[in-house]
Structure 1
Amino acid sequence: MNEQRIEISKNVLTACLGLKAGESLAVVTDDSRKELAESLYEAGKRLGAESMLLLMQERSKSGEEPPAAIATAMMNASVVVCVTRYSLTHTAARKQAAAAGARLATMPGITEDMFTHGAITAEYDKVKELTENVTALLTDASTVRIEKDGRSLSFSIESREGVPSTGLYLNPGESGNLPSGEAYIAPLEGTATGELIADGSVAGLGALSSPLLLTVQEGRLIAAEGDKGDELLHMLGDDQGRMLGEFGIGTNDKARITGVVLEDEKVYGTIHVAFGSNNTFGGTVAAGVHIDIVVKQPDVYLDDRLIMRAGELV
C-alpha cells in the first residue's frame, strides 16, 4: 500500500475532519476510486477509528443518490469521506448525514495527482478566512451580474444564504468538498437572464479547449454553443436539470485548472455556475443532476458593486 498516500490521508482526516480514536469513519467509494479510498480507510484504522470501506457501483452522473444502505451508514458515522467519480455533494444522502451530525467531506473525481498536489496543499486557515468573507458578501447581496468578453448574465440571490466550503469540517454537521475553497449560493429560481462565456471546465467533460456560450432565459439554460455544448445539454436532460442552481466563487490560491471540477471550481480567480439540483443548499430544484461550469477571470458585481475585476477580488 502507498505509504505517502496513507500519511496524506492521516493529515486530511485529522486536520480537516478532526477524526479521533474511537470515532467511526465511513469511506464511501466506487470501483473507479477504490485505491485512493483504501488509503483513507487504512489511515482511519491507524488513527484508532472504527474504519469502514463502503464500495458501491459507480453512479451515472453527479447528484445521483447512493444506495440506501450506504446512505444509512453515512448517517450513523462520526466522519464520512466520499471518494467517487461523480459527486455526492448535492444529494439527500449527504444532507441527511450532515443533519445527523456527521462531519463530511466529498471528493468527486479526485485523482492521484490531486491527492498529493495543488489545492489539497493549501493553508486552510487562510482559505477559511477568505471563504467566510466572500460568503458574507453573497449572503448580504440581492443581485449578481457576471460579465466577460462582452456578455452578461444577471440573477437574484435575494434572501438566499451563502454557503462556505472551507476545507475545515470540525464540528458536527459541517460538510463540503476536499480539496476545498469556495463560497457559493443558490440563485433565486427563474430570475437568471443573459449570456455567459465559459472557458474553464465542465464537470464530467473536463477542461474546455474552446469556450462555450451559454444562454439563459427565466432561469433556464436554453442554448449551449460550442464544441461540448450538445454533450452538456444531454447530461442535463430536458427538465429541471437545465435550471440555474448555483453560483460560486473560488478561494483557493493553490488550486489549478486540471479538468476535474472538484479542483477547478476552487481556483482563485474563477467563478462557477451549475445547472440542476440546489435543494440541498437553500434552493428548490431537485433534478437528480448537478453540473458545474467554471469561468476564468470574469468581472462580478453584487448589487451593482464591482467585487471581482478580471478574476481579482477587489
Structure 2
Amino acid sequence: MNHLVEISRNLIETCLGIKEKEEVVIVTDEEKRPLAEALYQAAQKLGAETVLMQMKEREKSGQEPPFAIAEAMKQADVAICITKHSLTHTKARKVAAAHGTRVATMPGITEDMFTDGAIAADYTEVKKLTETVTEILTRGKQVRIEKDGHVLQFSIENRYGVPSTGMYLEAGQSGNLPSGEAYIAPVEGSANGQIIVDGSIAGIGMVDEPHLLTVKDGRLVEVTGPVAAKLLATLGDQDGRQLAEFGIGTNHKARIIGIVLEDEKAFGTIHLAFGSNITFGGTIEAGVHIDLIVNKPDVFIDDVKILEKGSFIFSRATCS
C-alpha cells in the first residue's frame, strides 16, 4: 500500500496539482475501494481536505452517480472518480467541471495500471501531441476510416475536438487518468458504412476475433462476432446505438490490455463509442456510453490522410 500511495501522490501532484487545504472528493465503489484508499492517503499527505465517498456499483458506463455524490463533486476543488464503470460521460462530471472542479476519471483502473503502461508516459509530450490532433479534428468536416476493406464515413462539421491530455491543472479542466486522446462528437445521423473492431470493447474486454459493425444514418444496425449479442444488449435498442464519439489515441506508453481506460489511449489506435455524447458537444443522452477500440486503421479527414495503419502523418495541410 505504501508503494501505491507514493505513486498516487506523484500522479495527483503532477497531473492535478493538488495543493494544501484544497477540498478533494474521491468517488469509488466496492471493487475499486482499495485503490481509492491509496489516492485518499496520497491527497492527505499533500495536505488536502479529503473525503472518500463509496457508492453502489453502476450497471454500465455513462450511468449517473447518486445525487449526493454529484453535489459533492460540484462543490470540490478536485474530484477523482475511481470506479468500475466510467463516470466520464455523465452530467455529474460535466456540471462539476462547469463549476470549476478539476475532475479526473479512472474507470476500471487496476494496480498494474498504476505502476506500468499509460500512467508512466511523459505527459508533457502527450499533451503536445493531443492538442495538435485536437486542432485537426476541430478544423475538420468529414472523417473516413478504412480498415481491411471496410469504410466508415461521418461528419464532424461544426463540432469541436476535445483534448484529454492527462494534465488538469486549471479550474474546470477534466478528463481521464491515465490519459492521452483527442476525441470529438460526430454529427448525429451522418455516419454510414462498416468498421472492424479488433482491439477491445468497454465492459467486455479484449476481443478474441474481429467484429464487424454496420452503421446506417448514424445508428448501429448490425454486429457480427462472438460478443455481438452482449454488446447490443448493453447498448439497448434506443439511443444507446447512436454513434457518439470518434477518438484517436496519443499515448506511446498505453497498451491494449482489455481495459478501455488504457486501451483507448494507445498510440496506433482509434476508438468509436455508441450512446451518450451530450457532455462533449453532441445531442445524444442515452444513459450509456460504450467505447470500441480499432487497431492500425487508415484515417482521412477531409480526404487528407492523417493516420496510415495507425501511424500519424502530419503534413503542412493538416498542421498549418
Instruction: Give 5+ residue unaligned stretches, structure 1.
Output: none
Q: Give the 5 Å matches for 1:246-285.
A: 246-285=245-284
| Partner of residue 11, structure 2 | 12
Q: Give the 5 Å matches for 1:103-118.
A: 103-118=102-117
State how far apart, in whole Å, the 1-side matches of 2:5 and 2:96 are: 25
TM-superposition CA deviations, 1:74-127 (whole Å, max 9, x none): 001101100000000000000010001011100001011111110000000000
Deviation at 1:7, TM superposition (A): 0.5
State how far apart, in whole Å, the 1-side matches of 2:270 and 2:257 are: 15
Q: Which secondary structure state, in structure 1, belongs to the residue aligned with residue 18 of structure 2?
A: coil
TM (normalized to structure 2)? Answer: 0.98
Q: Which secondary structure state, in structure 2, belongs to the residue aligned with residue 223 of structure 1?
A: strand
State how far apart, in whole Å, the 1-side matches of 2:100 and 2:289 are: 24
State how far apart, in whole Å, the 1-side matches of 2:115 and 2:3 are: 9
1:149 partner amino acid: D
State how far apart, in whole Å, the 2-side matches of 1:285 and 1:185 are: 13
Q: Which secondary structure state, in structure 2, belongs to the residue aligned with residue 230 of structure 1?
A: helix
| Partner of residue 3, structure 1 | 2
State how far apart, in whole Å, the 2-side matches of 1:205 and 1:190 are: 26
| Partner of residue 67, structure 1 | 66
2:305 partner amino acid: L
1:16 partner amino acid: C
Instruction: Give 5+ residue unaligned stretches, structure 2.
Output: 314-320
| Partner of residue 288, structure 1 | 287
Deviation at 1:10, TM superposition (A): 0.5
Identity of aligned residues (%): 60
Q: Give the 5 Å matches for 1:194-213.
A: 194-213=193-212
Deviation at 1:26, TM superposition (A): 0.5
Deviation at 1:13, TM superposition (A): 1.2
| Partner of residue 152, structure 1 | 151
Deviation at 1:12, TM superposition (A): 1.3
1:269 partner amino acid: G
Deviation at 1:42, TM superposition (A): 0.6
| Partner of residue 43, structure 1 | 42
Q: Which secondary structure state, in structure 1, belongs to the residue aligned with residue 31 of structure 2?
A: helix
Q: Which secondary structure state, in structure 2, belongs to the residue aligned with residue 32 of structure 1?
A: coil
State how far apart, in whole Å, the 2-side matches of 1:140 and 1:277 are: 23
The alignment of Structure 1 onto Structure 2 pairs a total of residues equal to 313
| Partner of residue 26, structure 1 | 25
| Partner of residue 236, structure 2 | 237
State how far apart, in whole Å, the 2-side matches of 1:160 and 1:11 are: 35
State how far apart, in whole Å, the 1-side matches of 2:241 and 2:149 are: 23
State how far apart, in whole Å, the 2-side matches of 1:177 and 1:241 are: 22
State how far apart, in whole Å, the 2-side matches of 1:54 and 1:145 are: 43
1:207 partner amino acid: M
TM-superposition CA deviations, 1:188-214 (whole Å, max 9, x none): 000000000000000000001100000
1:52 partner amino acid: V
| Partner of residue 226, structure 1 | 225
| Partner of residue 121, structure 2 | 122
| Partner of residue 190, structure 1 | 189
Q: Which secondary structure state, in structure 1, belongs to the residue aligned with residue 32 of structure 2?
A: helix
1:33 partner amino acid: K
Q: Which secondary structure state, in structure 1, belongs to the residue aligned with residue 255 of structure 2?
A: coil
| Partner of residue 58, structure 1 | 57
Q: Which secondary structure state, in structure 2, belongs to the residue aligned with residue 137 of structure 1?
A: helix
State how far apart, in whole Å, the 1-side matches of 2:85 and 2:150 are: 30
TM (normalized to structure 1)? Answer: 0.99
Q: Which secondary structure state, in structure 2, belongs to the residue aligned with residue 286 of structure 1?
A: coil
1:83 partner amino acid: I
Deviation at 1:30, TM superposition (A): 0.2
Deviation at 1:220, TM superposition (A): 0.1
Q: Give the RMSD, CA atoms, in angstroms.
A: 0.4
TM-superposition CA deviations, 1:247-267 (whole Å, max 9, x none): 000000000000000000000
**Larger mean Cα displacement after TM superposition, 168-177 or 6-15:** 6-15
State how far apart, in whole Å, the 2-side matches of 1:47 and 1:19 are: 7
Q: Which secondary structure state, in structure 1, belongs to the residue aligned with residue 10 of structure 2?
A: helix
State how far apart, in whole Å, the 2-side matches of 1:301 and 1:225 are: 25
State how far apart, in whole Å, the 1-side matches of 2:43 and 2:215 are: 45
State how far apart, in whole Å, the 2-side matches of 1:281 and 1:226 are: 30
